[in-house]
Amino acid sequence: MADTKRSGLTALAGTALADGDLIALTDISDTTMAASGTDKKTTLADVETYLDAGTHAKYVLDTTVATPVAAADTVVIFGRKIANRALPAFVGPSGLDSSLQPNLARNKVGYWNPNGGTSAIPGVFGYLAPTATGFTVTLRAAATTSMFTRMRRLGFVTVATAGTVGIYRVSVPMFTLGAGGTPALGGFFKVLRFGISDAAAVSGARMFWGMSSNVGAPTNVEPSTLTNCIGIGHGAADTNMKIFYGGSAAQTPIDLGVNFPANTRNVDVYDLALFAPPSAPDTVHYQVTRLNTDQSVSGTLAAATPGLQLPLSTTLLNNPWGYRTNNATALAVGVDFMSDYIETDQ
């Protein structure tokens, strides 16, 4: 609650308030809500009525603050953004923090989550099961070597024949960008976790994972040529991960920088979050996090001309849709998936 009038309760009848102090709601006013710092642990009763001038009380969470530190025997509720989507979150004394899960009864949620320790493809909750082509689904045993090896995941590995394309996709498109209107339609919130798992360095490999309107199978092409898509990957000459996107025309990829390498193997765990707000047509926010180094980059994709830089809000997209190929190198390539999540309002 960075609003200075909501940062803390410093005085009431000349007496400073401490964390956990209770006061009568009738005693809260602009004068008693004077700024005093950034303490987020004031009790809900201290601020509810003030926030809406005594009409419709609400609790406002600031999404611009760093994750707070929770004292022993406390849980701190705060706000955070994931791909520019504002969400309530909480943290305890251990430092483990989590965003709150939206109501499953009123939000349409799809989730794909490997068990780990088996080559069996898990069932899918809330969207069609993807199909693997050109990949051998491979058991990944948990190990304590790194974050990558500790994660419960499923491997997808190609053969070593040059030009092999490993594909994992759904071919029935069901998602769109936000369409606006009243009520606002379309939009989605997607989070994909994965890591490159080639057994050896593969020169010229290509990769794209995300969403696409293409109902056909991907082929061995540069991801920078793809249209009506949004996702992450790398081209044959790339050393960094990039955001690839386009509407009717493929757009210049966004280089995520040296902190997001595309040429590491069995080490880096990437988290791609995409948020297309239902109320904001022609807009997709992205956030990429390299989980094992806690580095994150975010941005916004916007279409100046509807349908040109991004898919139209009437263009249905497949989720997930993507590929990894060894291109012209006769070595196997692989990718490990940890989870895929997608959520819509309708």
Residue 6 lies in a domain: no
Check: CB of residue 269 under 8 Å from CB of residue 148. yes
Would you state the pLDDT for residue 55?
Answer: 52
In this predicted structure, which of 37-51, 115-129, 239-253, 278-292 has the lowest mean pLDDT? 37-51
At residue 34 the predicted structure's pLDDT band, cuts being 50, 70 and 90, is very low
- % of the chain beyond a pLDDT of 70: 83
Average pLDDT of the residues in 150-167: 98
Structure tokens at 295: 């580095």
pTM confidence score? 0.85
Find how far residue 46's CA is from the centre of its chain.
34
Residue 303 lies in a domain: yes
The whole-angstrom separation of Cα 121 and Cα 145 is 24
Residue 141 lies in a domain: yes
CATH of the domain at 133: 2.60.120.200
Residue 259 lies in a domain: yes
Residue 168 lies in a domain: yes
**Above 90 in pLDDT, residue 26?**
no
Residue 55 lies in a domain: no
**Above 50 in pLDDT, residue 40?**
no
Burial 107-119 (b: 16+ CB within 10 A, else e): eebbbbbbebeee
**Above 70 in pLDDT, residue 3?**
no
Residue 312 lies in a domain: yes
Parallel, antiparallel, or unpaired for β 108-112 and 131-133?
unpaired
**Above 60 in pLDDT, residue 8?**
no
Number of domains in the chain: 1
Would you state the pLDDT for residue 129?
Answer: 94
Residue 274 lies in a domain: yes
pLDDT tens, position by position, 69-85: 999 999 999 999 999 99
* Boundaries of domain holding 191: 108-344
At residue 46 the predicted structure's pLDDT band, cuts being 50, 70 and 90, is low
CA-wise closest residue to 319 among 284, 301, 343: 343
